Amino acid sequence: MRRRMIAGNWKMNGGRASLKEVERLRAEFADTPCEVVICPPAILIPAMVEALAGSSIMVGGQDCHPDVSGAYTGDLSAPMLVEAGATHVILGHSERRALHSEGNSLVCAKASSAHKAGLAAIICVGETAIEREEGRTLAVIGRQLRGSVPAGASPENCIIAYEPVWAIGSGRTPTPPQIAAVHAFIRGELVQRFHPLGGGFRLLYGGSVKPLNARDIFSVPDVDGALVGGASLTAAEFGPIIAAACL
């Protein structure tokens, strides 16, 4: 049985005032049967950890550098995230792949570093609109999986998020059969590569998950939860998504 996971990706949004949203979630979901992780801008991690002390809601980063320390102005390492109180880190998000030119081998190195530091990595994969139109969705995702997921990955330290680039922030989502086809493909790849552990990895869907479509998405086979962007910023929207997955 895979435990469902709902992860919130605040991206470059929110400040100290937003911690009241987290406090509301904390009161509402004191003890959820699934895992809830919120990934705020890194500077908010310690305050969010403090705001959630004693609850089962966890806090994660949105990126880390592959090295532990060094002359990398502006970067953060996995052990630094751990020291701040993070338990997870999102890696290979399409915004970082596109806007920071991150390739699969860099994402893989970051994931290995995260694992070494004791963080669980949420590794993102997904096709662009053009790649889907050209019928290359599964080829692209296969390449991303093979290149970005390190050999040391396990169901404990690695979660895969399928996020079609064209669905992120657009209000458009794939149909349930389209999500099912990609998740079945990802499952097959993991089963093949990580035998006998492949069946244990959690697969999240991400891209315009909202309270109104969450239930339909969670009923798709092999969808073990969601990576939520915009709708994770307020308790009013994130709460019902968590409830749809966990209650």
**Annotated active-site positions, please?**
93, 163
Asked if 230 interacts with ligand PGA (CB under 6 A), we say yes
Question: What residues between 3 and 42 interact with ligand PGA by CB under 6 A?
Answer: 9
* E strand map for the chain: 5-9, 35-39, 58-61, 88-91, 120-125, 158-162, 202-206, 225-228
Residue 61 or residue 229: which is nearer to ligand PGA going by CB? 229
Residue 161 CA to residue 90 CA, distance in Å, equals: 9
- Whose Cβ is closer to ligand PGA: residue 83's or residue 100's? 100
Side-chain-side CA neighbours of 103 within 13 Å: the count stands at 1
Q: If binding is defined by CB under 6 A, does position 223 make contact with ligand PGA?
A: no
User: In terms of CB distance, is 93 or 115 closer to ligand PGA?
Assistant: 93
CB atoms within 10 A of CB 72: 11
Binding segment for ligand PGA among 22-30, 75-83, 161-169, 179-187 (CB under 6 A)? 161-169
| Cβ 165 to ligand PGA shortest distance, Å | 9
Number of chain positions touching ligand PGA (CB under 6 A):
13
Q: How far is the CB of 71 from ligand PGA (least distance, A)?
A: 30
Closest distance of CB 245 from ligand PGA, Å: 14
Q: With contacts defined by CB under 6 A, name the span among 14-22, 25-33, 58-66, 229-237 that binds ligand PGA.
A: 229-237
Among 5, 91, 203, 209, binds ligand PGA (CB under 6 A): 209
What are the start-end ranges of the E strands in 54-170?
Answer: 58-61, 88-91, 120-125, 158-162
> How would you label 139-158 residue by residue, b for 16+ Cβ within 10 Å and e otherwise?
ebbbebbebbbbeebebebb
Q: Encoding tokens for residue 121?
A: 């990595």
Contact stretch for ligand PGA (CB under 6 A) within 31-39, 146-154, 180-188, 203-211: 203-211
Query: Does residue 207 bind ligand PGA (CB under 6 A)?
Result: yes
Q: Is 100 in the site for ligand PGA (CB under 6 A)?
A: no
Contact pick of 174, 206, 239, 240 for ligand PGA (by CB under 6 A):
206
Give how far Cα 147 sits from Cα of 62, 92, 111, 211, 233, Å: 19, 11, 11, 33, 31
Residue 116, helix vs strand vs coil: helix
Q: Which is nearer to ligand PGA, 168 or 190 (CB)?
A: 168
CA dihedral 234, 238, 240, 241 (to 10 degrees): 160
> Dihedrals φ, ψ of 91, to 5°?
-135, 145
Total Cβ atoms within 10 A of residue 5: 24
**Of residues 137 and 208, the one with the C-beta less far from ligand PGA:** 208
Residues forming contacts to ligand PGA in the complex (CB under 6 A) are 9, 163, 168-169, 206-209, 227-231
